[in-house]
Chains A and B, each alone.
Chain A
Amino acid sequence: MIRFERVSKRYPNGREALTDLSFEVGAGEMVFLTGRSGAGKSSVLKLIALLERPTRGQVTVNGDNTTRLPLRRVPQFRRGLGVVFQDHRLLMDRPVFDNVALPLIVADSAFRDIEKRVRAALDQVGLLGKERVAPLELSVGEQQRVCIARAIVSKPPLLLADEPTGNLDATLAAEVMGLFRRFSDVGVTVVVATHDLPLVRASRLREIELDDGRLGTPAAHVDGHVDGHVDGHVDG
């Protein structure tokens, strides 16, 4: 589903965020992207979502080589992935329904479908019946779940999440992770960038650890194996 081949990313200010990075994520797999702030987690997500293109190397997502994808095909490409933000980025002047429906509306879905699929997505995150509520009337945890509903409403094969539990307490965080696990179980590829190492460990899933733009430890973090020294890299 995702393949990084010797990828380097240098920003216009000269900072090299990623250096010679290679890894692969299989279809239907759920992985964690960890590392301290500035280690390159955001850069990896940006390269996957095609907000940036690599300086060197190749990024292949869902069969598309992002280096060569023409600009006009970027919207279509992005419809194949759902994104969950730490600050959820909901449109505060629109009700929950409109927020969740956005990916379907931009993809020209028929109105009948939109209603059905928005309700299905809200049902999955446990917010059925809140369609007409304004996001500001919801709790932080609920807002995060609306964001997740928006990410999955078009049933994308790939789900990206950047610190999805950053603003949540332990119980809510565990709930959100449970949701991601369920999506993964039905074949969605899930990439979660997070600081929350206890949660990563508890999940016993693969971890891709970044350290200064490279793989932190040999890419041996396979099948729930978690290295003891990871704690040392956590800041905050």
Chain B
Amino acid sequence: MATSMATSMATSMASVSNWSARHGHALVSTTGHLARHGLATVLTVSVMGLALALPLALDVLVRNVRDATGDFSEAVGLSVYFKPEVAEAKARQLTRIAAERSGVASATLITASEALAEFRAQSGFGAALDSLPDNPLPNVLTLRPTPDAASPSQLDALRSYLLAWPEVDSVQLDRDWVMRLGAILDLLRRVTLIAALLLAAGVIAVIGNTIRLEILNRREEIEVTKLVGGTNGFVRRPFLYAGVCYGGLAGLVGWGLVAIAQASLAPAALRLAAAYGSAFRLAGPTLPDLSTLLLGGMVLGWLGAWIAASRQLSRIEPRSV
């Protein structure tokens, strides 16, 4: 019993070491091959790195625009214009009612006299205003929704609610440009996604073609290997490793390119932000981005190599003894 266990353990350990030896052999022969063909490898990896850099750059751009405009999301709100005949006391009462409604973060009343004073101070039409018999400005209530109640449909509901008040003349939503920006960002995200899909297909094609050429170059070797009893799996293995290496390197290059672009743009962005009195900083690609790109590149590389190898290898059979 003990002997048979020892034997089976020895066998399984031997098979593990054979397994690692087999994969080690494929990996060593692959990396050696890539290193020997330095220039071709650099060119292939650069092309694929550029292809992976583009969607990442778009994504980083979208994130930065969202960051830069994040402060303005608070600008979403409503201006409630009361009818001119509504008295200030009534307006204050209504303001308290509005402030207590759920989904309302703050309700501020700008009374007609406050508005007139501000207008007088800022417009320079003081003398003309003095000639008016009475204040033409209405009382205005500004409402800010809580963040969880700021969706377009919720804002519309709030607007209808306020419009139903007999004292209210009109309600204006201050969200049009925010919605436009949101729509632009949404469009950009979709563009990023489509670009990513197209370029991923491009990466698969580039790797597939590279591997196909490599297989044709090594046709003789493949034939001999098959003739001495190499399986399709054995012959395919180094090519799959090559695909994964290409893809991983391309991911690294793509991330590096975006990081370099960010580093070279950051000072200028900082100056621009400072000119606007903003604390905005241009964000670069993150470490999670790096792992995504590395992993994505490797998966695409494997896929491209697998497709090419499966198509080509079955066609290469030894023809003559």
Shortest distance between the CB of B220 and any CB in chain A (Å): 7
Chain B interface main SS type:
helix
Indicate if the CB atoms of A103 and B321 lie closer than 8 Å: no
Q: Assuming the A-B contacts A46-B321, A51-B319, A91-B220, are A102 and B21 also in contact, with contact meaning beta carbons closer than 8 angstroms in the complex?
A: no
Of B140-148, B179-187, B222-230, B269-277, the one with at least 4 CB within 8 A of chain A: B222-230
CA distance A83 to B225 in the complex (A): 12
Indicate if the CB atoms of A106 and B225 lie closer than 8 Å: yes
Indicate if the CB atoms of A105 and B321 lie closer than 8 Å: no
Indicate if the CB atoms of B227 and A49 lie closer than 8 Å: yes
Indicate if the CB atoms of B321 and A45 lie closer than 8 Å: yes
Specify the chain A residue showing the minimal Cβ separation from B229: A79
Q: Which residues of A contact B280 (CB under 8 A)?
A: none
Whether a CB of chain A sits under 8 angstroms from the CB of B67 is no
Indicate if the CB atoms of B230 and A106 lie closer than 8 Å: yes
Whether a CB of chain A sits under 8 angstroms from the CB of B156 is no
Whether a CB of chain B sits under 8 angstroms from the CB of A126 is no
Q: Assuming the A-B contacts A102-B225, A107-B229, A110-B21, are A42 and B321 also in contact, with contact meaning beta carbons closer than 8 angstroms in the complex?
A: yes
Shortest distance between the CB of A52 and any CB in chain B (Å): 9
Indicate if the CB atoms of A108 and B18 lie closer than 8 Å: yes
Number of residues in B with C-beta < 8 Å to the partner?
A: 23
- B231 CB contact (under 8 Å) in A46, A89, A106, A110: A106
Indicate if the CB atoms of B21 and A75 lie closer than 8 Å: no
- A162 CB contact (under 8 Å) in B18, B228, B234, B321: B321
Indicate if the CB atoms of A42 and B320 lie closer than 8 Å: yes
CA distance A109 to B25 in the complex (A): 12
Indicate if the CB atoms of A51 and B321 lie closer than 8 Å: yes
Indicate if the CB atoms of A76 and B229 lie closer than 8 Å: yes
Indicate if the CB atoms of B319 and A79 lie closer than 8 Å: no
Whether a CB of chain B sits under 8 angstroms from the CB of A23 is no
Whether a CB of chain A sits under 8 angstroms from the CB of B216 is no
Q: Which residues of B contact A42 (CB under 8 A)?
A: 320-321
CA distance A76 to B220 in the complex (A): 20
Q: Which residues of A contact B223 (CB under 8 A)?
A: 89
Specify the chain A residue showing the minimal Cβ separation from B26: A105
Whether a CB of chain A sits under 8 angstroms from the CB of B14 is yes
Indicate if the CB atoms of A110 and B25 lie closer than 8 Å: no
Q: Which residues of B contact A102 (CB under 8 A)?
A: 224-225, 228, 230
Whether a CB of chain B sits under 8 angstroms from the CB of A78 is yes
Specify the chain B residue showing the minimal Cβ separation from A101: B25
CA distance A75 to B313 in the complex (A): 14
- Which 5 residue pairs of A and B lie closest in terms of their CB atoms, listed nearest first? A79-B229, A106-B230, A78-B229, A103-B228, A45-B321
**11 contacts across the A-B interface (CB closer than 8 A):** A45-B321, A46-B320, A51-B320, A75-B234, A83-B227, A83-B228, A91-B221, A91-B224, A105-B25, A106-B234, A110-B18
Chain B positions near chain A (C-beta within 8 angstroms): 14, 17-18, 21-22, 25, 220-221, 223-231, 234, 317-321
Chain A positions near chain B (C-beta within 8 angstroms): 42, 45-46, 49, 51, 75-79, 83, 85, 89, 91, 102-103, 105-111, 150, 154, 160, 162
